[in-house]
């Protein structure tokens, strides 16, 4: 059975408290014992020191007398030795003179003989005294050595023993008590923590979580919410309702949420691949780039989490739709097949970029562009036309918001800013048939157009309330404003929006607040990009860092020149937040690596995905931007 981490931790704290209290009690016992022993020992040492000092003084006085006797005997012996040597020299001198008959005026032979006898007698006496003195010196020296040995081996140890008294017996008992008490405390602590150790090995998250949820019911799953009918409504299940084009509303919902589930699967899969690549790149990145990479990885992880939540919600809707009898699996299989095909295509393109020796970090950033901002309100391959129950009256005038290059013979190539006349709905959803000013007719993406008149030039016969009107009107006003600015820009210039407030560091630099719109001026030929752009803000021209702004329009080429538009990407484009301009997210041309300077598609670092992607009959292209719906949940009547 699992143990709660809090219970084990409480047991560890209690055991620590008990061990601490035991040691506190032992320390008090040590202190009282030490005070008593120290006091008794000090008094005993003072008494023994006095007694031992007197005894040591007597012993050392006796030893000093013995040493003095040795000194006297040695001194007498040395004196007699010198006197005997002098007498011996005199006797030898007299005898030598007698042998040589060397006597002078003052000494006769008889006198020399007398001197010889005298000196011989003295020598004999001195020799006798020398023997006595030598014997006395030897005896005294032997006695002194014996006395000194007795002092060091008997008397001095006795004095030291008397001085020590029972000190070491007291210390032995005291240290034994200390060690024994510590062993007992350690044994008690060991017994307590042995039980804590056994309980710690049984700590598991499940038991701790169960106890936590029992104490905090706010985190426990709530009962499943049930449908609450209003009034006399007796319906409990989904009911199909035919749309204007013959397709039921539930079928649209099934297609919509199957596409959303597939989209979320792709975002999650691709996000994990991006995280793996970024983790590998982070191992070799310099220290200065680490914070930015970690922040980017956190953003990608957050997008993956949002995709998982969106997938769960989409799956729940699909389950209800499947229970209502709709063939959800067909829509889901088709959407998943297209997503898997796109993932495989992106994998091949990624491998091609890795194998390309001229690959740059810009090409790698292409893979990360999909995860700039995940918006749960973002609709992929969803209806962006009128609200349910509305009808657009044709013909209707519109303006091309983003250029599109025809991919099939029945499609019409359009360029940004061009005015078209929409004459009828397309052969598939999200496509309309339009006529340009040259009289050419063909299918164009509906979401690439902006309908014009006082109410957006979409005359709608309202059959019910539409909740998207205010947000769409605000969006149209902002899109029209920015698009108009884009159309009147000089060749080689484009617009950017300030992401942060910036204070110029010199007179050459611009100062602008967050959200300011700046017109970027074209760079001179041959000028090196040093990270600073030259721009015009409120009539003042200066330079500013390119890292504090984001592009909101692409570069406009020569007047009348058509900018080639690559095929729309498979992923959902960025979403415009309500009230925000296009600067919140990069344009499709930026995501696909389109060149700003000449409007041509870039080289190997930005491959054209549309050319290699296998499209179904006519896959509806995603819009470059779409306003989020106020109520993303479908209303089922």
User: What are the tens digits of pLDDT across the range 399-424?
Assistant: 887 788 888 888 899 988 788 989 88
Residue 330 lies in a domain: yes
Question: Quick one: average pLDDT of 597-602?
Answer: 35
Q: Band of the pLDDT at 583, cuts 50, 70, 90? A: very low
169 and 282, same structural domain?
no
Whether 583 contacts 494, CB under 8 Å: no
pLDDT tens digits for range 83-132: 888 888 888 877 777 777 665 555 666 777 787 788 788 888 888 888 99
Domain membership flag for residue 539: no
Task: Specify whether 172 is located in the same domain as 253.
Answer: no
Q: Which of 163, 185, 207 is the last residue of a domain?
A: 185
Are both 160 and 263 inside the same structural domain? no
E strand residue ranges, 538-622: 540-545, 549-551
Query: Cβ–Cβ contacts within 10 Å for residue 99, how many?
Result: 8
134 with 269, same domain: the answer is no
Tokens 């004459």 belong to 423
Minimum mean pLDDT among 65-74, 159-168, 220-229, 528-537: which range?
220-229
Distance between CA 205 and CA 208 in Å, rounded? Answer: 5
E-only strand ranges, 293-430: 396-400, 419-425
Question: What is the C-alpha to C-alpha distance for residues 498 and 512, in angstroms, rounded to an integer?
Answer: 8
Q: Are residues 169 and 305 in the same domain?
A: no
pTM of the model: 0.39
Task: Look at residue 448 in the predicted model and tell me its pLDDT.
Answer: 83
pLDDT class of 138 with cuts at 50, 70, 90: very high
Q: Out of 371, 405, 428, pick the residue that ends a domain.
A: 371
Which among 599, 552, 581, 540 has a CA at the least distance from the CA of 403? 599
* Residue 36 in domain: yes
Classified as helix, coil or strand, 585 is: coil
Question: Is residue 168 included in any domain, yes or no?
Answer: yes
Per-residue pLDDT at 64: 93
Question: Rounded to whole angstroms, how far apart are CA atoms 512 and 344?
Answer: 44
Q: Pick from 398, 550, 462, 98: which is nearest to 244 by CA?
A: 462
Q: Pick from 409, 408, 417: which is nearest to 436 by CA?
A: 417
Are 165 and 278 found together in one domain?
no
Question: What's the mean pLDDT in 590-611?
Answer: 34
Residue 203 is assigned to a structural domain of this protein:
no
Q: What is the pLDDT of residue 586?
A: 36
Give bridge partners of residue 537 from the DSSP assignment: 540
Whether residues 132 and 266 fall in one domain: no
Question: Where among 371, 399, 423 does a domain terminate?
Answer: 371
In a domain, 280, yes or no: yes
The domain of 277 spans 249-371
Core vs surface per residue 283-315: b (16+ CB within 10 A) or e: eeeeeeeeeeeeebeebbeebbebbeebbebbe
Which range, of 101-110, 359-368, 465-474, 606-615, averages the lowest pLDDT?
606-615
Q: What is the pLDDT of residue 489?
A: 57
Q: DSSP character for 526? A: T
Give the rounded percent of residues in the chain with a pLDDT score beyond 70.
Answer: 71
Question: Does the N-terminal peptide bond of residue 570 adopt cis geometry, omega within 30 degrees of 0?
Answer: no
Confidence (pLDDT) at 144: 92
Write down the pLDDT at residue 590. Answer: 31
Domains: count for the chain: 2
User: Among the residues of 421-528, which ranges form H helices?
Assistant: 469-487
Question: For the chain, what's the residue count?
Answer: 637
Give me the pLDDT at residue 376, please. Answer: 54
Q: Lowest-confidence range among 167-181, 206-220, 381-395, 541-555? A: 381-395
Query: Given a cut of 50, is residue 253 above it in pLDDT?
Result: yes
Question: Is residue 19 classed exposed, middle or buried when 0-12, 13-18 and 19+ CB atoms within 10 A define those classes?
Answer: middle
User: Which residues sit opposite 431 in a β-bridge?
Assistant: 445
Residue 144 and residue 35 share a domain: yes
Lowest mean pLDDT among 9-18, 26-35, 305-314, 602-611: 602-611
Domain shared by 80 and 155, yes or no: yes
Residue 342 counted as domain residue: yes
Instruction: Give residue for tokens 């007179």.
Output: 507
Query: Quick one: 349 and 274 in the same domain?
Result: yes
Residues 76 and 157 in one domain: yes
Same domain, yes or no, for 253 and 171? no
Give the per-residue pLDDT at 92. Answer: 83
pLDDT tens sequence across 258-268:
888 988 998 99
Residue 175 lies in a domain: yes
Is the pLDDT score of 277 beyond 70?
yes
Handedness of CA 576, 577, 583, 586 (dihedral sign): negative
Residue 430: name the closest of 247, 577, 611, 553 by CA. Answer: 247
Average pLDDT over residues 357-378: 47
């Amino acid at each position: 059975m699992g143990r709660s981490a809090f219970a084990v931790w409480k047991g560890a704290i209690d055991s620590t408290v008990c061990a601490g209290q035991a040691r506190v009690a032992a320390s008090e016992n040590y202190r009282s014992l030490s005070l008593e022993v120290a006091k008794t020992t000090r008094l005993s040492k003072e008494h023994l020191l006095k007694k031992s000092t007197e005894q040591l003084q007597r012993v050392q006085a006796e030893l000093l007398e013995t040493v003095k006797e040795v000194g006297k005997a040695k001194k007498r012996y040395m004196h007699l030795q010198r006197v005997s040597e002098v007498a011996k020299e005199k006797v030898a001198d007299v005898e030598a003179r007698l042998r040589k008959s060397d006597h002078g005026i003052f000494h006769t032979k008889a006198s020399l003989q007398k001197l010889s006898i005298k000196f011989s007698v003295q020598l004999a006496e001195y020799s006798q005294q020398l023997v006595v003195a030598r014997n006395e010196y030897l005896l005294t020296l032997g006695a002194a050595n014996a006395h000194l040995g007795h002092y060091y081996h008997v008397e001095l140890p006795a004095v030291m023993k008397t001085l020590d008294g029972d000190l070491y017996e007291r210390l032995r008992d005291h240290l034994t008590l200390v060690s024994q008490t510590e062993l007992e405390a350690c044994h008690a602590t060991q017994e307590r923590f042995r039980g804590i150790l056994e309980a710690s090995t049984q700590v598991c998250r499940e038991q701790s979580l169960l106890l936590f949820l029992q104490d905090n019911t706010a985190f426990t799953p709530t009962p499943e919410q049930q449908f609450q009918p209003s009034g006399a409504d007796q319906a409990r299940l989904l009911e199909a309702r035919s749309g204007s084009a013959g397709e039921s509303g539930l079928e649209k919902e099934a297609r919509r949420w199957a596409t959303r589930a597939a989209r979320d699967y792709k975002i999650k899969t691709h996000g994990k691949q991006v995280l793996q690549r970024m983790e590998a790149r982070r191992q070799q990145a310099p220290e200065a780039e680490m914070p930015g990479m970690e922040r980017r990885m956190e953003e990608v992880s957050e997008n993956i989490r949002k995709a998982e939540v969106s997938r769960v919600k989409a799956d729940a809707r699909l389950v209800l739709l499947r229970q209502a009898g709709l063939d959800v699996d067909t829509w889901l299989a088709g959407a998943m097949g297209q997503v898997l095909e796109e993932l495989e295509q992106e994998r091949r393109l990624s491998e091609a970029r890795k194998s390309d020796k001229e690959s740059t970090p810009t090409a790698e950033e292409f893979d990360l562009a999909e995860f700039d901002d995940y918006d749960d309100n973002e609709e992929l391959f969803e209806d962006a036309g009128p609200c349910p129950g509305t009808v657009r009256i044709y013909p209707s005038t519109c303006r091309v918001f983003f250029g599109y290059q025809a991919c099939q013979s029945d499609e019409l190539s359009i360029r940004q800013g061009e005015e078209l006349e929409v004459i009828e709905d397309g052969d598939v959803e999200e496509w309309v048939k339009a006529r340009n000013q040259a009289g050419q007719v063909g299918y164009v993406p509906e979401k690439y157009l902006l309908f014009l008149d006082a109410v957006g030039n979409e005359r709608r016969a309202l059959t019910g309330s539409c909740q998207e009107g205010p947000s769409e009107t605000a969006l149209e006003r902002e899109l029209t404003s920015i698009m108009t600015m884009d159309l009147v820009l000089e060749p080689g210039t484009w617009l950017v929006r300030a992401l942060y407030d910036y204070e110029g560091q010199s007179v050459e630099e611009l100062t602008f607040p967050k959200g300011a719109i700046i017109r970027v001026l074209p760079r001179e030929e041959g000028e090196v990009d040093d990270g600073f752009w030259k721009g015009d803000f409120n009539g003042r021209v200066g330079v500013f860092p390119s890292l504090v702004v984001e592009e909101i329009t692409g570069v406009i080429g020569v007047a009348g020149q058509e900018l080639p538009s690559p095929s729309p990407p498979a992923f959902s484009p960025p979403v415009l937040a309500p009230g925000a301009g296009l600067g919140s997210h990069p344009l499709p041309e930026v995501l696909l690596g389109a060149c700003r300077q000449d409007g041509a598609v870039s080289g190997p670092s930005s491959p054209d995905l549309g050319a290699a992607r296998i499209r179904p009959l006519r896959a509806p292209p995603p819009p470059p931007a779409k306003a989020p719906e106020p109520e993303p949940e479908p209303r089922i009547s």
